[in-house]
Amino acid sequence: MTLLDFRLIESDFIPMDGLVSHVGNTPLLPLRRVTRDLPAKTRVFAKAEWFNPGGSVKARPALNILHTAIANGDLGNGKRLLDSTSGNMGIAYATFGATLGISVTLAVPANASPERIMLLRALGAEVILTDPIEGSDGAILKARELAEENPGLYWYANQYNNPANWQAHYLSTGPEIAAQTNGQTTHFIAGLGTSGTLMGTGRYLREQLSGIKIIAFQPDASFHGLEGLKHMPSAIKPGIYDDSFADEQLTVKTEAAHEMARRLAREEGLFVGISAGAAAVAALEVASRLEEGVVVTVFPDAGYKYLSDKNLWEGK
Amino acid sequence: MTVLRIPTPLRAYTGGKSEVIVSGAYVLDTLTDLTSQYPAIKPHLFNESGELRPFVNLFVGESNIKDLQGVETPIKDGDRLMLIPSVAGGAYPHPSLLPKGEGTQTPFSFREKGRG
Contacts of B99 (CB under 8 A, 6+ apart): B105
Tell me the pLDDT tens digit for each residue of A271-293: 999 999 999 999 999 999 999 99
| B6: nearest CA partner in chain A | A133
Kindly provide the ipTM of the predicted complex, given to two decimals.
0.78
Contacts of B24 (CB under 8 A, 6+ apart): B2, B30, B31, B32, B33, B75
The answer to whether A234 contacts B44, with C-beta atoms less than 8 Å apart, is: no
B85 CA to centre of own chain: 8
Is A310 in the active site?
no
Rounded mean pLDDT, A67-85: 95
Output the CATH code of domain A59-156.
3.40.50.1100
Cα distances from A204 to residues A126, A174, A207, B90, in angstroms, run 35, 5, 5, 27
DSSP assignment letter at B97: G
Cα–Cα distance for residue pair B1/A162, rounded to 1 Å: 47
B94 CA to centre of own chain: 16
For residue A43, which of A29, A57, A53, A55 has the smallest C-alpha distance? A29
CB nearest to B107's CB, from A133, A232, A258: A232
If phi > 0 it is left, if psi is from -120 to 50 it is alpha, else beta; for residue A35 that is alpha
Q: What's B21's domain CATH number?
A: 3.10.20.30
Is A275 in the active site?
yes
Task: Give the end-to-end CA distance of chain B in Å, rounded to a whole number.
Answer: 29
A111 CB neighbours in chain B (<8 A) are 57, 84, 87
Q: What's the total number of domains in chain B?
A: 1
The answer to whether A236 contacts B97, with C-beta atoms less than 8 Å apart, is: yes
**What percent of chain B stands above pLDDT 70?**
72
The answer to whether B53 contacts A226, with C-beta atoms less than 8 Å apart, is: no
B108 CB neighbours in chain A (<8 A) are 232-233
Q: How many separate helices (H) and strands (E) can be counted in chain A?
A: 10, 10
The answer to whether A136 contacts B89, with C-beta atoms less than 8 Å apart, is: yes
pLDDT given at position A14:
64
Q: Do residues A174 and A150 lie in contact, with contact meaning Cβ atoms separated by under 8 Å?
A: no
**Class of A9-51+170-314 in CATH:** alpha beta
Cα–Cα distance for residue pair A198/A61, rounded to 1 Å: 12
Question: Which three-class secondary structure state does DSSP give residue A98?
Answer: helix
Q: With an 8 Å Cβ cutoff, is A247 touching chain B?
A: no
- In chain A, domain spans: 9-51+170-314, 59-156
A142 CB neighbours in chain B (<8 A) are none
Tell me the pLDDT tens digit for each residue of A1-58: 667 666 655 656 666 678 999 999 999 999 999 999 999 999 999 999 999 999 999 9
Structural domain range at position B42: 2-87+94-113
Give the HSE-up count for residue A31: Cα atoms under 13 Å, Cβ half-sphere: 36
Q: Do residues A184 and A294 lie in contact, with contact meaning Cβ atoms separated by under 8 Å?
A: yes
Question: Which three-class secondary structure state does DSSP give residue A38?
Answer: coil
CB nearest to A243's CB, from B92, B97, B107: B107
Answering whether pTM is above 0.95, one says no
Q: With an 8 Å Cβ cutoff, is B55 touching chain A?
A: yes
A213-217, A224-228, B83-87, B110-114 — most confident range: A213-217
